[in-house]
Amino acid sequence: MAQAESIKHFLERHRKLKRHLAKMQASLPESLDQAFNRYYESQPLTYVKFEEKLFRMEILMTQMNEQLREVDSMSMLRQAAGRVNYIADRLDEIEAALFNRSRRRRRFPFDLSDFFSRASSGQQQNGFSESKGEVSSLSQAYSVLELEEGVSLIEVMRTFRRMAKKYHPDARGGDRSDETQLRKVVEAYQLIKESLSTD
């Protein structure tokens, strides 16, 4: 009986966490529209900065969705909840600036600012299976995104956004057969972005 209650509690918390993440993902298009409407013509560099921040949030949420599928214990679920809270806090910070409002969430005492870099480095962390380092060169990264070298960062971001949606299981009715390609797309985007940022 106690085990059945424990399983039920785990499943309820897992579903709640997935709903919370889905709600945040659903808010991204509105935030991107706000950034476009507010800054695209008058302050294009500011628009690009917000666009990049929102794309970064989308990557984190995509990775978090993948990780949630692997969660099978309460300890892993608590770790996942901490990561989702970190993402929520960062998104609230971005949206507060975009919509000229005060922050709705308090900052969390822990710092998971390396979450994104850990995911891109192919490390195993806290039982989560993360990116496997399948993109090994800049030329391969451009090939994965089907882009020619020399395109702008904005074009790279737009292409990444389109391809990430194409391969994400949520856009394929739960079909996970293209998750390897999705990981490659994420890695390729990160590699190119880092290269263009240092030019």
The Cα 28–Cα 95 span in angstroms is 9
Answer yes or no: is 123 within a domain: no
Average pLDDT over residues 57-64: 89
Its pTM surpasses 0.75: no
Which of 162, 34, 176, 148 has the alpha carbon at shortest distance from 100? Answer: 34
Confidence of residue 190 (pLDDT cuts 50, 70, 90): confident
In total, how many domains does the chain have?
A: 2
Domain boundary among 111, 139, 160: 111
Read off the amino acid at residue 22: A
Q: Are 54 and 35 in contact (CB under 8 A)?
A: yes
3 and 82 together in one domain: yes
Give the chain's mean pLDDT: 80
100 and 164 together in one domain: no
**Which domain does 190 fall in, by range?**
131-199
Q: Is the pLDDT confidence value at 95 over 80?
A: yes
27 and 88 together in one domain: yes
Answer yes or no: is 64 within a domain: yes
Confidence of residue 23 (pLDDT cuts 50, 70, 90): very high
9 and 103 together in one domain: yes
What does the pLDDT read at residue 196?
77
Is the Cα dihedral 92, 107, 78, 125 positive or negative?
positive
- Which is more confident, 119 or 154? 154
* Percent of the chain's residues with pLDDT above 90: 23
What does the pLDDT read at residue 19?
92
Answer yes or no: is 118 within a domain: no
Q: Are 130 and 67 in contact (CB under 8 A)?
A: yes
Average pLDDT over residues 71-92: 87
Contacts 24+ apart (CB under 8 A), 70-78: 70/127, 70/128, 70/129, 71/14, 73/10, 74/6, 74/10, 74/13, 76/126, 76/127, 76/128, 77/10, 77/13, 77/14, 77/17
Domain boundary among 111, 143, 174: 111
Average pLDDT over residues 57-82: 88
Which of 70, 97, 67, 101 has the alpha carbon at shortest distance from 84? Answer: 67
Residues ≥6 apart with Cβ < 8 Å to 195:
138
User: 3-state DSSP helix/strand/coil percent for the chain, to nearest 5?
Assistant: 70, 0, 30
What does the pLDDT read at residue 165?
81
Answer yes or no: is 59 within a domain: yes
The Cα 163–Cα 142 span in angstroms is 13
Is the Cα dihedral 120, 122, 127, 128 positive or negative?
positive
pLDDT, tens digit, 9 for 90 and up, residues 24-57:
999 999 999 999 999 988 988 898 889 989 988 9
Q: What does DSSP assign to residue 108? A: P
Residues ≥6 apart with Cβ < 8 Å to 73:
10
* Percent of the chain's residues with pLDDT above 70: 81
CATH assignment of the domain containing 146: 1.10.287.110
Answer yes or no: is 105 within a domain: yes
95 and 140 together in one domain: no
Answer yes or no: is 175 within a domain: yes
Average pLDDT over residues 55-78: 88
Answer yes or no: is 37 within a domain: yes
72 and 21 together in one domain: yes
pLDDT, tens digit, 9 for 90 and up, residues 104-151:
755 443 333 333 444 444 443 333 334 446 788 889 999 999 999 888
166 and 196 together in one domain: yes
Domain boundary among 53, 76, 111: 111
